[in-house]
Amino acid sequence: MSDSATIVFEDVSRFYGEVLGVNRVNLTIPPGITSLVGPNGSGKTTLMNMMTGLVRPSRGTISVRGIAPDDPQALFRIMGYCTQFDSFPRGYTGIQFVTAALLMQGLPAAEAEAKAWKAIEKVNLVEAAKRKVAGYSKGMRQRIRLAQSIAHDPQVLVLDEPLNGLDPLVRSETIALFREQADRGAHVIVSSHVLHEVDMISDQVILLANGYVVAEGEIRGVRAEISDRPHQIVIRCDQPSRMASKLFEHDHVVEVRIHPDRQGLLVKTTDASHFHKLLNKLALDGIYIDTIAPADDDVNSLYEYLIGDEGGN
Amino acid sequence: MAVYKRSYTSYSGALTPPRTRFLVLPRYSYERLFKSRFLVGFLVACLFFPLGCIGYIYLVNNLTIFQSMGIPTPGFLKIDGKFFLVFMNFQGALAYVLTALIGPNLIAPDLANNALPTYFSRPFSRTEYVIGKISVLFILLSIITWVPGMLLFGVQASQAGWDWSVANWYILRGILLGHITWILLLSLISVAMSAWVKWKVVAGALILGIFGIGAGLAQIINSILRTDYGSMIDISRIMYTIWSDQFGIETSTGLEAFEAWIGFAAVCIVCLLMLERKIRPKEIVR
Amino acid sequence: MDTVLWRRQLLAIVQLEWKKTLFSKRGIWVYVLAFLPALLFGINAYRVKSIRAEQERMSVSAPNASAVSNKIVAGMSADVAAEALRDAKIPYSRFTRGRRLEVIRYNDGANAFDLMFREGALVDKRKRNQALLSDDIRAYAGMFQYFYLRLAIFFGCVGIFMNLFRGEMLDQSLHYYLLAPVRREVLMVGKYLSGLVATILIFGTSTALQLYLMLSAHSNKEVSDYLAGEGWGHIAAYLGVTALACVGYGSIFLAAGIIMKNPMVAAASILFWEGINWFLPAMLKKFSVIFYLQSLCPVVAPLNSDIPEPLKLLVTTAAPISAPIAILGLFTVSIAVLAFASIYVRKLEINYGAD
Ligand SMILES: Nc1ncnc2c1ncn2[C@@H]1O[C@H](COP(=O)(O)OP(=O)(O)O)[C@@H](O)[C@H]1O
Ligand SMILES: [Mg+2]
């Protein structure tokens, strides 16, 4: 794909003094909805801030549809960024807040206000638009910031945890809004710390952990990559040998070892979600299961955390 | 069964007695403050001068060299009101510095982090909160001001005898009254300032600046209106007048003792009003 | 060059910012600081008028007042002085100040006096409460240079210009500007201009009001004589210096707010630097704002009586520079400071948490 239609990270690292923000990131992001997923502190915000020029990379270069992030005058004609900072300039009402951003685009006042109303309509805040933002609820503040970032119809929309604090109804409306933006050819980059919140809507997913990109691609590819690896699970129960024989009846269980104290067993499976369903059945059959814990190394347990049970649904 | 029925039991342990509950604030503040080595060092350094003074008093009272030469002890070595006034001025200045160091941390962080609702959702009133915060400074400042002052007076009294004490009891009154008014004023100002601005640095600057700005304003009031009453908002002049009055020394501050007291009361009242406005469990945005 | 776009963006920034600065509730103290002198001159106007009225009454009721007043000399006892005043039908008040001081206060129709008696004998005869325009002009010069420039405008600019960047960082709202299609330099200049609009409006209005109130107390003849002479020049100079002070201090504190983590340290150091400016060698003097402002002030301010004699000599021998050079120097300093700040503003990162 040509340079002017993608967002490219080339060997990008960022350190905050001694602390690692992100390290050696190489990404090429095509238009569509892209989700950055990772636990807190994994570097999602850092990536987004670098993409928008709010912080600069310690190493490497970034290009957003051919524009460097340190050229705000060109960049923000095509970009909107809804940050995770839940703060506002003092004393603004909702409509003033959105209009202000459009005035900075260089629009005449009347046109700016008309566009602002349109954006506010999109996030369903028309009734509250004339009230002071300081008196909004968390969800309303989230939405007015969203309205501000989409008001100038950006080609690249960057949204840091945009679904936080929204109720289910508003959440699905918001997701529909993302889809709409993506369908007109825009980049929509969304971050989240729960994969199943965004996997249904994303065209592609980037998994982050501890400042590294650990997986990227279309959601199916990422999931396959994860489930192809055998998962190790430790189970403490009262009848380990009976359990072991029952487990071996299934294909996805590749290895079972009984713990020397005969109080538990170690299982290797290629399909974690099936396995968990199986355990439910066994428990109903009368085997008393005390604990179930993943026994994998860090990256694998991270997948476990990210994908969870719902990965298989 | 409802969840709260299973897990909720109200606190049934011992409570701090209501009368001394405000002391909870200093207790925790000190725990944090004394972690700073710089501050502890500064506090200890503040006690060097009083120690030196005690040594000096002891020396002067036990100088036998003049007696042995058959001449009376020279005047400049006498321990009198002037000596104690020097002591007071020195320790008073240190108290000012200490206030600037600690003062900004008193209320500003609570406001910046929205901690007031947490305080007031406990059996803890606004008054107790303010008294608690003031006492953080007041107790600390006492340790370096009037407490060593009393000690000095005690040492001198025991050395110089009963007659001296009777003749000079005004010194004791002066130390107590002078220093307590001073540190009360310092504590009130710094609590009020740190309640008024959320940013610690600005609060610190205000605590220091209020003296300079007050003095500047006093100057222009005096010069434009050709009067002396402007000095009533010059805090250092107020204190200087009050102290000098206690020690019977005439001043050229242009203020009468009672005018200085009025100024003092006015500053205190303004501080209290500021606190009353700002120390609220919640803020309403319109 | 996108000058058209920049102009439009500058306008938008100024429109968004100037009202925020001008009408913020947190900024009320700036108004207090700015308008206190005006209030004082208002009170002074009332005071001067009542003295004038009193003097007129006196000239009718006690025509030989000044002759009697001249005869009161040092060493005279309080009772004798009081009797002399009573005989001449001059109203007076007699009271004590402190433990040992007795005061007799009276007005002889031209001047007001305080007679100070210690142990019954006159030790000091103080002329006070004069109601002459020339006195007010001198009082104004002192107020303007020592209070208005060095404290009021100085701290007003600290409050307003530092807030423009550092305040928004503390409020965590600066990123909204950085996320707009505006060059950082344009943003900085826009914020500077809006700060200038606000400060010049506030302090310029106050200066004009102060001067009006000062003059309003005095008789038409005195005022028109003054205006016909050097009056209008003074007024223009004071207004100009007020605006230039905002230009100079504004640039410095805007830069401090961008560059420094803790701008209060900057404010304190600059206050110190400007404070010792009097005593600096000529080379270093040029790196300050107050030096240029002081050179532009039309009336030499009376020195504070607290300043020791040797220092006074130092101060008064400092030769002021000519007006065009002073104005040029001030603008040079401001532009240099802003240019320096623009290096930093281009590198500015959003790092709210770590502040
Ligand atoms: N301003 C900062 N100063 C120091 N460390 C920071 C700063 N911002 C982020 N970090 C660190 O960088 C890492 C990534 O943070 P962030 O990008 O905010 O993660 P996320 O948004 O995924 O939760 C974390 O370890 C965090 O502590
Ligand atoms: Mg984040």
C215-246 per-position pLDDT tens digit = 998 888 888 988 988 889 999 999 999 999 99
Co-location of A146 and A190 in the same domain: yes
Query: Is the confidence at residue A59, as pLDDT, over 90?
Result: yes
Give yes or no: residues C262 and C221 share one domain.
Answer: yes
Question: Nearest-CA distance from A135 to chain B in Å?
Answer: 6
Instruction: Identify whether the C-beta of residue A58 lies closer than 8 Å to the C-beta of residue A14.
Output: yes
For C8, residues 6+ apart whose C-beta sits below 8 A from its C-beta are: A106
The predicted structure's pLDDT at residue C355: 46
Total tally of structural domains belonging to chain C: 2
Same domain, A14 and A117: yes
Looking at the predicted structure, is the pLDDT value of residue C122 above 60?
A: yes
Task: Domain ranges for chain B, please list them.
Answer: 36-278
* Mean residue pLDDT across chain C: 84
Q: Is the CB of A217 under 6 A from ligand 1?
A: no
Q: Is A268 left (phi over 0), alpha (psi -120 to 50) or beta?
A: beta
Separation of CA C275 and ligand 1 centre (Å): 43
Is C222 a member of any domain? yes
Using CA atoms, how far residue B274 sits from B104, B194, B268, in Å, is 15, 10, 10
Question: Which residues are A8's β-sheet partners?
Answer: A28, A63
pTM beyond 0.80: no
ipTM: 0.78
Residues A116-152: tens digit of each pLDDT: 999 999 999 999 999 999 899 989 999 999 999 999 9
Ligand 1 atom at minimum distance from A208 CA: 22
- The verdict on A60 and A146 lying in the same domain is yes
Does residue A44 line the site of ligand 1, with CB under 6 A?
yes
**Ligand 1 lined by A19 (C-beta under 6 Å):** yes
Question: How does residue A79 score in pLDDT terms, banded at 50, 70 and 90?
Answer: very high
Same domain, C58 and C44: no
In a domain, A301, yes or no: no
Q: Measured between beta carbons, which residues in chain A are less than 8 angstroms from residue B286?
A: 132, 135
Is residue C352 in some structural domain?
no
Q: Which of the other chains make 3 or more beta carbon contacts under 8 angstroms with chain A?
A: B, C
Domain assignment present for C351: no
Ligand 2 center from residue A173 Cα (angstroms): 22
pLDDT of the residue at C125:
82
A310 pLDDT exceeds 50?
no
The per-residue pLDDT for C18 is 85
Whole-angstrom distance, CA of residue A125 vs CA of residue C101: 74
Which of A12, A13, A16 maximizes ligand 1 atoms within 8 Å of its Cβ, making it the mutation to test the pocket? A16
Over range A190-200, report the average pLDDT: 80
Q: Any idea what the CATH number is for the domain that residue A261 is in? A: 3.30.70
Which numbered atom of ligand 1 lies nearest the CA of A48? Answer: 17
Question: Do A8 and A84 belong together in one domain?
Answer: yes
Segment B200-221 shows an average pLDDT of 83
Chain A contact present for C306, CB below 8 A = no
Residue B80's pLDDT band (cuts 50, 70, 90): confident
In degrees and rounded to multiples of 5, residue A111 shows phi and psi of -65, -40
If asked whether residues A234 and A216 sit together in one domain, one would say no
Q: Are residues C82 and C45 located together in one domain of the fold?
A: no
B113 touches chain C (CB under 8 A): no
Q: What is the CA radius of gyration of chain B?
A: 23
User: Does the beta carbon of C170 lie under 8 angstroms from any beta carbon of chain A?
Assistant: no
User: Looking at residues A213-228, what average pLDDT do you find?
Assistant: 69
Q: Give dist(CA A12, CA A26) in Å, integer.
A: 7
Higher pLDDT, C284 or B55: B55
Spell out which residues of chain B touch residue C264, defining contact as CB-CB under 8 Å: 201-202, 204-205
* A134 interaction partners in chain B (CB closer than 8 Å): 285
Closest ligand 1 atom to Cα of A38: 22
Residue A69 near ligand 1, beta carbon < 6 Å:
no
Could you tell me if A198 and A115 lie in one domain? Answer: yes
CA–CA separation, A64 and A75 (whole Å) = 8
Are residues C66 and C155 located together in one domain of the fold?
no
For position B67, what pLDDT does the model report? 66
**What is the bridge-based pairing of β-strands A19-29 and A231-237?**
unpaired
Same domain? C123 vs C60: yes
* Residues spanned by the domain of C232: 2-49+132-346
Any atom of ligand 1 within 6 Å of the Cβ of A154? no
- pLDDT tens per residue, range B251-263: 777 788 888 999 9
Say whether B205 and C97 touch across the interface (CB within 8 A). no
Contacts of A135 in chain B (CB under 8 A): 285-286
Residue A302 lies in a domain: no
C276 has a chain A CB within 8 A of its CB: no
Same domain, A198 and A249: no
In angstroms, the CA B163 to CA B161 distance is 6
Is the pLDDT at C168 greater than 70, yes or no? yes
Residue nearest to atom 26 of ligand 1 (CA): A41
Least Cα separation, residue C8 to chain B (angstroms):
32
Stretch B107-117: mean pLDDT, rounded?
82
Same domain for A91 and A219, yes or no, is yes
The answer to whether residue A18 scores a pLDDT higher than 70 is yes
A45 lines ligand 1 (CB under 6 A): yes
Report pLDDT for C277: 74
pLDDT in tens, C68-95: 777 787 778 888 888 888 887 788 888 8
Residue of A15, A23, A25, A45 with the most ligand 1 atoms within 8 Å of its CB, for mutation: A45
In the reported structure, the alpha carbon of residue C195 is separated from the centroid of ligand 1 by a whole-number distance in angstroms of: 34
CA B285 / ligand 2 centre spacing (Å): 28
On whether both C221 and C286 belong to a single domain, the answer is yes
CB contacts of B285 in chain A (<8 Å) are 132, 134-135
Residue A298's pLDDT is: 46
pLDDT for A309: 42
Tell me the nearest-neighbour CA distance from B192 into chain C, angstroms. 15
Q: Report the C-alpha gap between C44 and B221 in whole angstroms.
A: 10
Q: Which segment of B58-62, C63-67, C114-118, C119-123 scores lowest on mean pLDDT? A: C63-67
pLDDT single digits (tens) B38-53: 889 999 999 999 999 9
pLDDT one-digit tens code per residue, A235-247: 888 888 888 888 8
Closest CA to C80 of C126, C121, C109: C121
Q: Are both C89 and C230 inside the same structural domain? A: no
State the Cα–Cα distance between residues A171 and A179, nearest whole angstrom.
12
Last residue within a domain, chosen from C127, C146, C165 = C127
Q: Does C325 lie in the same domain as C236?
A: yes
Query: By alpha-carbon position, which residue is closest to atom 11 of ligand 1?
Result: A21
* pLDDT reading at A290 higher than 50: yes
Domain annotation covers residue A309: no
**Stretch B73-88: mean pLDDT:** 78
> Per DSSP, which regions of B90-226 are E strands?
none
Looking at residue C303, its pLDDT comes to 62
pLDDT at B1: 52
Task: Work out the minimum CA distance from A133 to partner chain B, whole angstroms.
Answer: 9
Contact call for residues B130 and B107 (beta carbons, < 8 A): no
A307 inside domain? no
Number of separate domains in chain A: 2
Contact A98, B249 (CB under 8 A): no
Looking up tokens 């740190």 gives: B194
Which pLDDT value is given to residue A236?
Answer: 83
Task: Determine contact: B286 vs chain C, CB below 8 A.
Answer: no
Query: What is residue A117's predicted lDDT score, i.e. its pLDDT?
Result: 96
Asked if residue A264 has its Cβ within 6 Å of ligand 1, the reply is no
Does the beta carbon of A41 sit less than 6 angstroms from any atom of ligand 1?
yes
Between A73, A91, A149, which is nearest C183 by CB?
A73
The full 3-state SS of chain A, as one line of letters, equals CCHHHCEEEEEEEEEECCEEEEEEEEEEECCEEEEEECCCCCCHHHHHHHHCCCCCCCEEEEEECCECCCCHHHHHHHEEEECCCCCCCCCCEHHHHHHHHHHHCCCCHHHHHHHHHHHHHHCCCCCCCCCEHHHCCHHHHHHHHHHHHHCCCCCEEEECCCCCCCCHHHHHHHHHHHHHHHHCCCEEEEEECCHHHHCCCCCEEEEEECCEEEEEEEHHHHHHHHHHCCEEEEEEECCHHHHHHHHHCCCCEEEEEECCCCCEEEEEECCHHHHHHHHHHHHHCCCCEEEEEECCCHHHHHHHHHHCHHHHC
In the numeric block, which tokens belong to residue B68? 């042995």
Contact status, residue B29 vs residue B136, Cβ threshold 8 Å: yes
Q: Which residues of B touch A132 (CB under 8 A)?
A: 285-286
Q: pLDDT-based confidence at C338, cuts 50/70/90?
A: very high
Q: Which of A12, A14, A15, A19 to mutate to test the pocket of ligand 1 (most atoms within 8 A of CB)?
A: A19
> Which domain covers residue A62, as residue numbers?
3-223
Claim to verify: residue A218 and residue A249 sit in the same structural domain: no
- What's the CATH number where A11 sits? 3.40.50.300
pLDDT of residue B166: 87
Instruction: Give the whole-angstrom CA distance, residue B86 versus residue B72.
Output: 24
- Chain C closest-CA separation from residue A183 CA (Å): 24
pLDDT computed for residue A114 by the predictor? 95
Q: Tell whether the model's pLDDT for residue C213 goes beyond 60.
A: yes
Within this chain, do residues C284 and C179 fall inside the same structural domain, yes or no?
A: yes
pLDDT band at A311; cut points 50, 70, 90 = very low
Query: What is the structure's pLDDT at C243?
Result: 96
In angstroms, the Cα distances linking C296 to B48, C214, C277, C279 are: 50, 20, 15, 18
Band (pLDDT 50/70/90 cuts) for residue B286 is: very low
C44 lies in the same domain as C139: yes
Angle between helices B48-61 and B81-102 (to 10 degrees): 170
Please tell me whether residues C161 and C290 are part of one structural domain: yes
Chain A: which residues have CB within 8 Å of chain B?
A: 132, 134-135
Residues C26 and C97 in one domain: no
Q: What mean pLDDT is predicted for residues C125-134?
A: 77
- Which of A13, A14, A37, A46 is the pocket-test mutation for ligand 1 (most atoms within 8 Å of CB)? A46
Tell me the pLDDT of chain B averaged across its residues: 84
Flag whether pLDDT at B226 surpasses 90: no
Q: What is the mean pLDDT of residues C56-72?
A: 78
DSSP B15-40: ---GGGGGGHHHHHHHHHHTT-HHHH
